[in-house]
Homo-oligomer: A and B are copies of this chain.
Amino acid sequence: LKIGILGTGGVGRTLAAKFASTGNEVMIGTRNVEDTLSKTNPDAMGTPPFKEWQKQNQQVKLGTFAEAAKFGEVILLATFGDVTKNAIDLAGKDNFSNKIVVDSTNPLDFSKGVPPGFTVTLGNSLGEQIQNHIPGAKVVKAFNSIGAHIMVSPKREEGDPDFFIAGNDEEAKKKISDIAKSWGWQGVVDLGNISMSYWLETLAMIWIYYGFKYNSWTQAFKLLKK
C-alpha cells in the first residue's frame, strides 16, 4: 500500500516507520521540505530534527503536503489539530477524493501551555470538520486517544487496549482496523459514524490530563466488554 502522511512530528514519524517496516511505501508530507530538512534542533515538543530521524529511516520519502497526498492510497493526518484543514488545503482537496483518510489529530490549544485546552464543541468535532472539508474522502478517526509509541506497539503490561474508531465508511473502518490488528491491536471499539469523533477527542483529553497529572505516558484504554 502507498501511504501518504501529513505531518513530520512524532506521530507522523512513528506511523511512517511502522508502515514502512510492514511492507508499505511511505511518503511524509510537510509544508516546506527545505525548512523541514534545515532544522538542527529539537522542536517545542522535544522531537529531534527530521534530518536525524531520516538517516535511520531512509526508506521513508519526504515531499510536500501535495506530493504526499497524491502519493498516498491511504492518507494519514498527523499534524497539530489547529492546522489540519490548512494542511489539507495546501495538499489539494482533490488528492483526498475516494481515499481512506485516517484522522489521528486532536483539537488542542497549547497557547496557554500544558495541559492543552480543548477547542471543539459537540457536533463540530475535528473529525467531523475534516470529513465536511473533504466530503469525497472516507475519513476514519483513529489512533487519536493514545501516544504515538502505543499506536504502533499497543500491548501493555496490564493487558491489550482497544482500538477506538469512528467514521462513515464501514469498509474504510474495516481496512484500518485490520491494519491495526496486524500491529497487535486486539479489540476494536467502533463507536459509529464520524459524529462520534467528538467522544474520541474527549477520550484523548482523559489520556492527556491523566498524563500531565501523573507524568505518565504509557496508559491506554480498554473497554472490558463483559
* Interface set of A (CB-CB < 8 Å, partner B): 118, 121-122, 156-161, 189, 191-192, 196, 198-199, 202-203, 205-206, 209-210, 213, 216, 218-226
Contact = CB atoms under 8 A, between A and B. Distances in A.
Q: How many copies does the complex hold?
A: 2
Contact of A218 (B161, B189, B216, B226): B226
A138 B158 CA distance: 33
A222 B159 contact: yes
Given A203-B206, A205-B199, A192 B213 contact: yes
13 contacts: A121-B121, A158-B224, A159-B222, A159-B224, A161-B224, A198-B202, A199-B202, A199-B206, A216-B225, A219-B225, A219-B226, A220-B223, A221-B221
A157 to B, nearest CB: 5
A191 B158 CA distance: 20
A158 B226 contact: yes
Contact of A222 (B192, B199, B209, B221): B221
Given A157-B224, A203-B206, 20 more contacts: A158-B222, A158-B226, A159-B222, A160-B224, A161-B224, A189-B210, A192-B209, A196-B209, A202-B203, A203-B203, A206-B223, A210-B223, A216-B225, A219-B223, A219-B226, A220-B223, A221-B221, A221-B222, A221-B223, A222-B222
Instruction: Pick the 4 closest A-B CB pairs, nearest first.
Output: A202-B202, A156-B224, A158-B224, A218-B226
